[in-house]
Amino acid sequence: MDDLLSIGEVSKIKGVSIKALRYYGELGILNPAYINEESGYRYYKLEQLIIIDLIITCVDSQIPLKHFNRYIDNDYSINMDLIQKDAQEITDKKIEKLQKNMELINKVNNHYKNKKKEIKKTMNEGSFIKHCKQRYFLISKYQEDNYDLKTYRKEMAKLYKECIDCNMHDEFNDGIIYLYQNNIKKIAFFIEVTCDEKSLLVDNIIVIPENDFRCELIKINDFKSAIDNNINKYDYKENNMIIAVEFYDLKINTQNLFVEFQHLISSD
């Protein structure tokens, strides 16, 4: 008995609760070296502490303990190669997910920094010229001029669901695009997305070519009324394009709402 550690001692040494040690025993992955028949108290050998370290590591690596038996070979030895393989796969997936999370955080941060600069620029200069690189819009079906706000929100929800279903990444720009082609005015709701070759095969993706736009940012209380009150000041011409983009200021309480009107300069 002098060479054994009580379950309480093991608990203190490894910082693992007695309940957890008993649970490991129930799973058959940490069998006590000796159990006192009278007290039911469990005792462990010193060399079993490394097994506890492995179990804790597996827990931290999100390897389910109920699957730990698969790492025990027929001769009761632990297959470290298999543990290493599974742990590496899980670690790689975690790293990939964390990197995507950081990409999203950086993307959102840069987006709102740029929008704040545009707000400041508008307040100082009024309208301004912005060069926009080629963009991809996932659009709704074309709408009538008399659409209401409920229709707009409903169609936008559909677009965001489609964006997720098609594994696209949105660029945090959404709103309404007005096109004038062949003497016909077309209106569609959109979200800007990042596209790969597969995404371009989606029927309702349109490409907005690289160009200069005259931009004006307007602070509003209601998106629909702002569109109705401001869109008609722009002249519709052949191949004209006007994009109305919603912008929020990321406040936890009631947000200030802005709309940026982007008017294709080549149509002036």
Task: Decide if pLDDT at 179 tops 90.
Answer: no
Q: Are residues 146 and 224 in the same domain?
A: yes
- Ranked by mean pLDDT, the top range of 70-74, 204-208, 251-255 is 204-208
Host domain of residue 160: 123-267
- Other beta carbons within 10 Å of 173: 19
- Which carries the bigger pLDDT value, residue 247 or residue 254? 247
Residue 90 counted as domain residue:
no
Last residue of a domain, one of 78, 105, 137: 78
Q: Which of 19, 48, 78 is the last residue of a domain?
A: 78
Q: Hey, what long-range contacts does 87-92 have (CB within 8 A, 24 or more apart)?
A: 87/57, 87/58, 87/61, 87/63, 90/61, 90/62, 90/63, 91/61
The answer to the question of residue 104 being in a domain is: no
What is the distance of C-alpha 15 from the center of its chain?
Answer: 35
Pairing of strands 257-264, 211-220: antiparallel
For residue 250, what are its two tokens?
């990321």
Note the pLDDT of residue 235.
64
Q: What is the pLDDT of residue 142?
A: 85
Q: Is 108 part of a structural domain of the chain?
A: no
pLDDT at position 268 over 60: no
pLDDT tens track for 146-157: 788 888 889 999
Question: Residue 58 belongs to a domain with what CATH number?
Answer: 1.10.1660.10
- Per-residue pLDDT for 256 more than 80? no
On whether residue 100 sits in a domain, the answer given is no
Establish if 101 belongs to a structural domain.
no
- Percent of the chain surpassing pLDDT 70: 92
Confidence at 258, pLDDT banded by 50, 70, 90: confident
Q: What's 183's DSSP letter? A: T
Portion of the chain with pLDDT greater than 90, in percent: 41
Residue 175 Rama label (left phi>0; alpha psi -120 to 50; beta)? left
Same domain, yes or no, for 41 and 133? no
* 166 and 237 housed in the same domain: yes
Q: In terms of domains, do 141 and 263 share one?
A: yes
Instruction: Taking residues 185-200, report their average pLDDT.
Output: 85
* Same-domain status, 72 and 157: no
From 45, 78, 111, the end of a domain falls on 78
Using DSSP's 3-state secondary structure scheme, residue 6 falls into strand
Residue 102 placed within a domain: no
| pLDDT per residue as tens digits for the range 17-48 | 999 999 999 988 899 999 998 888 999 999 99
Mean pLDDT of the region 119-128: 74
Say if residue 119's pLDDT is above 80: no
50 and 166 both lie in a single domain: no
Report the number of distinct structural domains present in the chain. Answer: 2
206 pLDDT exceeds 50?
A: yes
- Whether residue 112 contacts residue 250, with contact meaning beta carbons closer than 8 Å, is answered with yes
Interatomic CA distance for residues 17 and 196, integer angstroms = 50
Across the range 154-178, mean pLDDT stands at 90
Instruction: Assess if residue 115 is contained within a domain.
Output: no
CATH code for the domain in which residue 211 is found: 3.20.80.10
185 in the same domain as 254: yes
Is there a domain that residue 114 lies in?
A: no
Between 225 and 203, the more confident residue is 203
Mean pLDDT of the chain: 86
The C-alpha atoms of residue 228 and residue 245 are separated, in whole angstroms, by 14
For residue 176, the tally of other CB atoms under 10 A from its CB is 24
Do 71 and 128 lie in a common domain?
no
Instruction: Map residue 236 onto helix, strand or coil.
Output: coil
pLDDT at 180: 82
Closest Cα to residue 257, out of 244, 266, 268? 244
Amino acid occupying residue 247: F
Is pTM, for the whole model, over 0.75? no
* pLDDT for the residue numbered 1: 65
